[in-house]
Amino acid sequence: MERFEFSYPAAQPLAVHAQAGVVGSGDLEALYEPHATQALKISVTTSVDGSHSLWQHFFDRLSTLRELPAGRLDIHDFGATPGVARLRIEQVFEEAEHAN
């Protein structure tokens, strides 16, 4: 198990807390918490040892493709593919943005 953190410049926080996915074989859970800051703080806990640079590149790319919301994003990974990781992160942001 490894745990690491990243921080990226961010826009306005989204409306509410949100959760997407489930930690389980080959999946990932993403939890978003809005904060009135100018950064998205990301915490990754993963079962894949030696994956720091992969996650770093993943978030570097994501930050060029979309405006990141301010707040905290906790990721609990159990070997998800990059496609599943992107899907869960987009899902959690969408849920938090469109919550009533």
pLDDT digits (tens, 9 = 90+) for 67-84: 999 999 999 999 888 889
> 88 and 21 in contact (C-beta within 8 Å)?
yes
CA distance 95 to 55: 22
Structural tokens at position 44: 């990754």
Element (H, E) at 14: none
CA distance 2 to 82: 17
Contacts for 51 with CB less than 8 Å, ≥ 6 apart: 2
Give the mean model confidence (pLDDT) for residues 86-100: 90
What's the pLDDT at 79? Answer: 87
What's the pLDDT at 82? Answer: 87
CA distance 72 to 54: 20
What's the pLDDT at 25? Answer: 65
* Residues pairing with 18 in the sheet: 32
Measure the CA angle with vertex 67, ends 1 and 62; round to 5°.
Answer: 40
What's the pLDDT at 100? Answer: 60
